[in-house]
């Protein structure tokens, strides 16, 4: 009765070109793509369209399909609500009005730009996470000079996430099993909000204690296998020519797009 | 989705480049400090303890309870981790949790990760620590200090972090200050109560089962004064700044303009030839068309390469 690991891990097995690309190149390009997206001034619709074309090209190349990536990308969109007031508060000529509320042209442009940017950026992040296995991503982080200790902690965290998520699911199942509803409608069930919160708090507390004890056992097991506090890892292989070309080409394309956008729309 | 996205994780596209990079720098400084401190305190035990507890906080965020009408309270865990393990370990644990959420689950952006790390990892932890210690001192070692302090620390960590999110959005020009700040503050004042109650329940259980753990949290690790002072300052600063910015959005607009000014100041970097919209072309309309054509050609080239590769792959298989 354990959790299906793949339910949590967004990695999609495959052997496409994007899957086979070096994780270092993928991570750098994803970050560069998102940075480029942020540098494009608002209202540069043509450039947004081209950026979207790039991210969708990636989706096609990854053999995950455009639909798959686009559908996932919508999940991050509710935050757009934060930019919603811009429609009414940015001064400028009125685009159109709903009743007595006026929507300004500049506000509309800024709002649409933010929503589009966010949507396109998250596609790059999705591509990275779905085509790169976690251990490879860890290697890429190391190559990018993230502190070795931090990478080691994240690696161990990933190793135990599945175990502990399982534990949480068992706790939730147990709580659901205890929480009966009486047939007699006059009997209130579920207690007060404060009581429910405290029950959940108890679960969090025991989860914490169990995890602390588990970390003791893990530490003992690591010491028994010769762990001495030093994090050792294999040296990373050099990048192949193809990977260098993809990296350089990616940078080149992004730079041209950002330069064009800034020159024309700023 | 299985893990509900929290309101506090800022996605990419919502922060200006200047704000994003500034937050990355601040977060990085705090994290490096935390790494050094935790390494000194825990030594070789650091990797297993921090790793497993980060996984526990990540999984613990799935714990929820129904409030009313389909809404539910969640645990964020910054205060709980801080109270039990001290501020430095708290920063590290939250860093791992927030980082994985962004990188793997797209819960928060990658460029915006610096801001998210700073809000939840640094502000959340520092404020929780400062508030908890304050109550400990007032209670003078009495039992209620742990519980009242725990509740207050959890509430304050969520509330103050949300003020920081609203301010960053306002400075980026994404959300007007006089709307974003009251809205974020109002929502998180309520969410904070849920966080506080869960933290309280967790502390009650730990007090009953392993009182020694709470004693360990009492022993102040060296250098935690910095966090104490930093947390207090951050809390006061944000608490004062937010209503101010909310009441005088024009002032913040000026900050936004100044920050925007920093960005426009970079323009010479792009302006290879001044006075021309497009290098070599002075007509604006013509330049726009040219830019569109050049850009399209570049992307078309990439797309053709993609299509060519696909065809080759298909003909091979």
Model pTM score: 0.84
Q: Do A89 and B176 touch (CB under 8 A)?
A: yes
- Which residues in chain B have Cβ-Cβ distances shorter than 8 Å to A215? 48-49, 51-53
Task: Verify whether the Cβ–Cβ distance A209 to B95 is below 8 Å.
Answer: no
User: Residue B109: its chain A contacts at CB < 8 A?
Assistant: 34, 118, 121-122, 125
Residue B19 sits at the vertex; the CA angle it makes with B234 and A54, to the nearest 5 degrees, is: 145
- Cα separation, A202 vs B205, in Å, equals 6
Residue B253 and residue B262: Cα distance in Å, rounded?
A: 14
pLDDT of residue B186: 83
Taking residues B2-29, report their average pLDDT: 81
Say if the Cβ atoms of B179 and A157 lie within 8 Å: no
Query: Over chain A, what is the mean pLDDT?
Result: 86
Q: Between B74 and B192, whose confidence is greater? A: B192
> To 5 degrees, how large is the angle CA B188–CA A161–CA A33?
70
By CB atoms closer than 10 A (0-12, 13-18, 19+), residue A256 is middle
pLDDT of A123-173, one tens digit each? Answer: 999 999 999 999 899 989 988 888 888 999 999 999 999 899 999 999 999
CA triple B39-A157-A69, angle to 5 deg:
135
Q: Scanning every residue of chain A, which has its alpha carbon at the shortest distance from the alpha carbon of B32?
A: A147
Q: Which of A8, A149, A168 sits opposite B63 (nearest CB)?
A: A168
Distance from chain centroid for Cα B243: 20
Q: What is the pLDDT of residue A54?
A: 92
Q: What percent of chain A has pLDDT over 70?
A: 94
pLDDT at B69 over 70: no
pLDDT of residue A86: 81
- Local confidence band at B157 (pLDDT 50, 70, 90 cut-offs): very high
- B265-307 pLDDT, tens digit per residue, is 444 434 433 444 555 555 666 666 676 677 777 777 777 777 7
Pairing type for strands A94-98 and A101-104 reads antiparallel
Q: Which of A147, A229, A263 shows the shortest C-beta gap to B35?
A: A147
User: Radius of gyration (Cα) for chain B, nearest Å?
Assistant: 24
What band does B231 get if pLDDT is binned at 50, 70 and 90?
confident
Mutate to test the interface with A, among B9, B42, B56 (most CBs of A within 10 A): B56
What digits encode the pLDDT tens for the residues A87-110? 777 777 777 776 667 778 888 888
Residues 187 through 206 of chain A touching chain B, CB cutoff 8 Å: 190, 193-194, 196-206
Q: Residues 51 to 80 of B: which have CB under 8 A from any A CB?
A: 51-56, 58-60, 62-68, 73, 75, 77, 80
Point out the residue among A86, A150, A155 whose CB comes nearest to the CB of B35.
A150
What are the structure tokens assigned to B83, written together?
């109270």
User: Residues of A numbered 232-251 whose beta carbons fall under 8 angstroms of chain B's beta carbons: which are they?
Assistant: none
Question: If you measure CA to CA, which chain A residue comes closest to B263?
Answer: A39
Question: Is B39 touching A (CB cutoff 8 A)?
Answer: yes
Q: Is the pLDDT of residue B158 over 80?
A: yes
Strand partners, B64: B74
The pLDDT score that the predictor gives to residue B116 is 94
For position B139, what pLDDT does the model report?
Answer: 82
CA distance A238 to chain B (A): 24
| A vs B: CB pairs below 8 A | 318
Contacting B residues, span 113-152, partner chain A, CB-CB under 8 Å = none
Supply the pLDDT for residue B265.
41
Residues of A in contact with B306 (CB under 8 A): 57, 60-61
| pLDDT of the residue at A132 | 92
pLDDT given for residue A248 in this prediction: 94
CB A207 to CB B309 under 8 A? no
> CB of B304 within 8 Å of any CB in chain A?
no
| Cross-chain CB nearest to B111 (options A38, A120, A171) | A38
Q: Is the pLDDT of residue A122 over 60?
A: yes
Say if residue B242's pLDDT is above 90.
no
Average pLDDT over residues A56-69: 89
Least reliable range by pLDDT among A147-161, A176-190, A202-216: A176-190
Point out which residues pair with A103 in neighbouring strands. A96
Q: Which residue has the higher pLDDT, B5 or B198?
A: B198
Helix (H, G, I), strand (E, B) or coil at B73: strand
Mean pLDDT of chain B: 79
Average pLDDT of the residues in B102-118: 90
Mean pLDDT of A226-237: 80
Average pLDDT estimate for A65-82: 81
In the prediction, which pLDDT does B243 show?
74
Q: According to the model, what pLDDT value does residue B285 have?
A: 64
CB neighbours of residue B241 within 10 Å: 16
Better-scored residue on pLDDT, B55 or A14: B55
CA distance A38 to A42: 9
Name the A residues in 96-125 with CB < 8 Å from any B CB. Answer: 110, 114-122, 125
Q: CB-CB: which of B52, B198, B278 is closest to A204?
A: B198
Q: How far is B236 from chain A (nearest CA, A)?
A: 24
How many Cβ atoms sit within 10 Å of the Cβ of residue A89? 15
CB A3 within 8 A of CB A165: yes
Task: Compute the half-sphere exposure of residue A266: CA atoms within 13 Å on the CB side of its CA.
Answer: 22
pLDDT of residue B275: 43
Count of other CB atoms within 10 angstroms of residue A195: 13
Of B84-93, B107-116, B130-139, B253-262, give the lowest mean pLDDT range.
Answer: B253-262
Q: Chain A, 58-87: which have a CB under 8 Å from a chain B CB?
A: 60-61, 72, 75-76, 78-79, 82-83, 85-86
ipTM over cut 0.95 = no
> What's residue B316's pLDDT?
62
The first and second tokens of residue B142, run together, are 């009495």
Most B CBs within 10 A among A38, A104, A147, hence the mutation to make, goes to A38
Q: Which of A79, A74, A59, A68 is nearest to A124 (CA)?
A: A59
List Cβ neighbours of B239 (8 Å cut-off, separation of 6 or more): B160, B163
- Contact status, residue A34 vs residue A125, Cβ threshold 8 Å: yes
Query: Is A207 in CB contact (< 8 Å) with chain B?
Result: yes
> Per-residue pLDDT for B263 more than 60?
no
Structure-derived torsion over alpha carbons of residues A105, A107, A110, A116, reported in degrees to the nearest 10: -80
Chain B residue numbers touching A8 (CB-CB < 8 A): 2
pLDDT value of residue B273: 36
Residue B2 has pLDDT above 90, yes or no: no
Q: Quick check: A57 pLDDT over 80?
A: yes
User: Confidence class of residue A64 from pLDDT cuts 50, 70 and 90?
Assistant: confident
Query: Strands (DSSP E) along chain B, which ranges?
Result: 64-68, 71-74
pLDDT tens profile A2-48 = 444 445 788 888 888 888 899 999 999 999 999 999 999 888 888 99
Enumerate residues 196 to 235 of chain B having a beta carbon within 8 A of any beta carbon in chain A. Answer: 197-206, 209-210, 213
Average pLDDT over residues B182-190: 84
């Amino acid at each position: 009765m354990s959790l299906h690991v793949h339910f949590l891990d967004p990695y999609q097995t495959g052997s496409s070109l994007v899957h086979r690309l070096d994780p270092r190149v993928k991570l750098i390009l994803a970050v560069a793509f998102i940075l480029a997206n942020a540098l494009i001034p608002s209202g540069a619709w043509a450039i947004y369209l081209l950026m979207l074309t790039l991210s969708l090209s990636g989706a096609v190349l990854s053999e995950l399909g455009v639909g798959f990536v686009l559908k996932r990308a919508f999940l991050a969109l509710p935050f757009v609500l934060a930019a919603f007031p811009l429609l009414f508060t940015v001064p400028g000529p009125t685009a159109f009005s709903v009743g007595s509320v006026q929507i300004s042209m500049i506000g509309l442009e800024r709002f649409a730009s933010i929503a589009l940017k966010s949507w396109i950026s998250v596609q790059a992040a999705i591509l990275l996470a779905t085509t790169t296995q976690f251990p490879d991503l860890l290697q890429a982080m190391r190559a990018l000079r993230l502190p070795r200790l931090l990478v080691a902690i994240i690696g161990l965290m990933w190793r135990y996430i599945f175990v502990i998520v399982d534990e949480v699911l068992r706790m939730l199942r147990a709580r659901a099993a205890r929480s009966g509803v009486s047939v007699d409608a006059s009997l209130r069930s579920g207690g007060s909000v404060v009581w429910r919160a405290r029950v959940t708090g108890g679960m969090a507390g025991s989860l914490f204690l169990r995890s602390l004890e588990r970390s003791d056992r893990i530490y003992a097991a690591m010491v028994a296998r010769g762990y001495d506090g030093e994090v050792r890892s294999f040296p990373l292989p050099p990048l192949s020519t193809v990977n260098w070309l993809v990296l350089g080409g990616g940078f080149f394309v992004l730079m041209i797009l950002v330069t064009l956008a800034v020159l024309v729309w700023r | 989705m299985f893990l509900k996205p929290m309101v506090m994780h800022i996605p990419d596209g919502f922060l200006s480049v200047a704000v994003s990079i500034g937050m990355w720098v601040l977060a990085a400084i705090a994290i490096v400090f935390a790494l050094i401190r935790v390494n000194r305190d825990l030594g070789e035990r650091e990797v297993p303890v921090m790793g497993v507890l980060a996984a526990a906080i990540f999984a613990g965020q799935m714990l929820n309870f129904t409030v009313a009408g389909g809404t539910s309270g969640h645990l964020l865990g910054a205060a709980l981790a801080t109270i039990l393990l001290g501020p430095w370990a708290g920063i590290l644990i939250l860093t791992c949790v927030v980082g994985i959420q962004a990188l793997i689950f797209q819960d928060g952006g990658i460029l915006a990760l610096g801001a998210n790390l700073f809000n939840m990892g640094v502000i959340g932890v520092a404020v929780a620590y400062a508030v908890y210690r304050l109550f400990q001192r007032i209670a003078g070692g009495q039992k209620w200090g742990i519980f009242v302090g725990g509740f207050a620390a959890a509430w304050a960590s969520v509330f103050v972090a949300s003020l920081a999110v609203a301010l960053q959005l306002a400075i980026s020009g994404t959300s007007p200050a006089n709307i974003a700040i009251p809205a974020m503050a109002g929502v998180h004042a309520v969410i904070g109560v849920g966080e506080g109650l869960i933290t309280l329940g967790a502390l009650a259980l730990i007090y009953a089962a392993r009182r020694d753990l709470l004693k360990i949290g009492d022993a102040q690790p060296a250098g935690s004064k910095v966090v104490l002072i930093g947390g207090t300052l951050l809390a006061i600063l944000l608490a004062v700044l937010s209503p101010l910015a909310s009441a005088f959005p024009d002032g913040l607009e000026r900050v936004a303009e100044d920050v925007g000014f920093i960005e426009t100041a970079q323009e010479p970097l792009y302006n290879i030839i001044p006075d021309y919209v497009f290098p070599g072309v002075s007509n604006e309309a013509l330049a726009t068309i040219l830019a569109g054509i050049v850009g399209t050609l570049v992307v078309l080239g990439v797309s053709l390469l993609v299509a060519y590769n696909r065809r080759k792959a298909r003909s091979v298989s």
